Amino acid sequence: MSQRQPNGPLRLGTRGSKLAMAQSGHVAEALTARTGRPVELVEVITAGDRSTAPVHRLGVGVFVSALRDALVAREIDFAVHSYKDLPTAMPAGLHIAAVPPREDPRDALVARDDRTLAELAPGASVGTGALRRIAQLHALGMQLSVSPIRGNIDTRLARVLGPDADLDAIVLARAGLARIGRLDVVTETLDPMLMLPAPAQGALAVECRVDDPEMVELLGTLDHAASRATVTAERAMLATLEAGCSAPVAAYAVVAEGEPTGSGVEGDVVQEIYLRGAVISPDGSRDIRLSRTGTLADAAEIGKALATELLDLGADSILGPQGHNGPGTQQFGSTE
């Protein structure tokens, strides 16, 4: 068990993929800029990195557990996760100390010949790594041939843009492309009315040990209140649904200016969260979509209430016994 050196750099644990390293690098730079403390990246190999199986078959927290083990063992001082990879149940002794400003959480289409989704012909082959996206593509009724794919961003892009391309298009998180500087390949950023994102997509979770008050304080300088609130609402909905990986669940919260507070101070208004949520059957034949609004302070309650409404309208019948697996069992795939 190694300890942090008093004057040494802070040790940031990260997966070794191009996207994970980029995400962690951005956080390291921001932390150094805010606090003056140097940061070194420590690569941690996870079970998800070693497997070639489809993401939804790998199990819960497959990209997370090795990083958390390293944190508990004090081999690293903090870790950066794609927030949507985290199970909703928080382990004892660990703390999400910061949610930095969130990237655009929408999904993106990368297609041959710069085509948009509407320009894809019936039977066009589309690859993606998430059941949520597969279900919503089926729900569009476009007769697309949709298949699950794995691999890092460059591997996926090669399936549609490379010399040996075998797909007409892929759908992946816009945030991942933004973080590695590849937005140039996006042929369409998908409207959430067509493709509702995964809960917490585009957000990062910066995690440390509860018993490390120095790190809690340092990382707190990176926290972005609006990003934390939207993620809190989305993940509260997910946790209340207790949805497993066999049931596609989507959620998207945005912060907007509400009514004046009545304080008499010009420009003093209440910020509100507008949360949309959906449960979709894997074949796209059934879905339930609802929305709810409330204040930032009530983010978690908004998510719980929306989930309750979804369940009241029959979401359980879509989730099914395999989809309703208990709290903390969610795994919707890596941001890649």
Cα separation of 162 and 333, whole Å?
A: 24
Phi, psi of 287 (to 5 degrees): -155, 155
Residue 36 scores a pLDDT above 90: yes
Over residues 88-139, the pLDDT tens digits come to 888 999 999 999 999 999 999 999 999 999 999 999 999 998 889 999 999 9
Contact criterion met (CB below 8 Å) for 58 and 47: yes
Give yes or no for a contact between 81 and 207, defined as CB atoms under 8 angstroms apart. yes
Q: Name the amino acid, one letter, at 61.
A: G
Return the percentage of the chain with pLDDT > 90, whole number: 73
pLDDT at 109: 98
- Per-residue pLDDT of 148-204, as tens digits, reads 998 889 999 999 998 999 999 999 999 999 999 999 999 999 999 999 999 999 999
Residue 64 phi, psi (nearest 5)? -120, -40
Residues with catalytic roles: 85
pLDDT tens profile 52-61: 444 444 444 5
pLDDT band at 270 (very low <50, low <70, confident <90, very high): confident
H helix and E strand count, the chain: 10, 13
Separation between Cα atoms, residue 165 and residue 112, nearest integer Å: 9
Burial, 70: exposed, middle or buried (Cβ in 10 Å; 0-12, 13-18, 19+)? middle
Residue 49 is predicted with a pLDDT of 47
Beta carbons of 242 and 324 less than 8 angstroms apart: yes
Please tell me whether residue 272 adopts helix, strand or coil conformation: strand
Cα→Cα distances 136→4, 99, 201, 300, 305, Å: 46, 28, 16, 25, 23
Q: What is the pLDDT of residue 266?
A: 54
Q: Which residue reads 């879509």 in tokens?
A: 318
What's the CA gap between 116 and 111, in Å, rounded? 7
Phi, psi of 243 (to 5 degrees): -85, 130
Query: 95, 72 in Cβ contact below 8 A?
Result: no
pTM for this one?
0.87
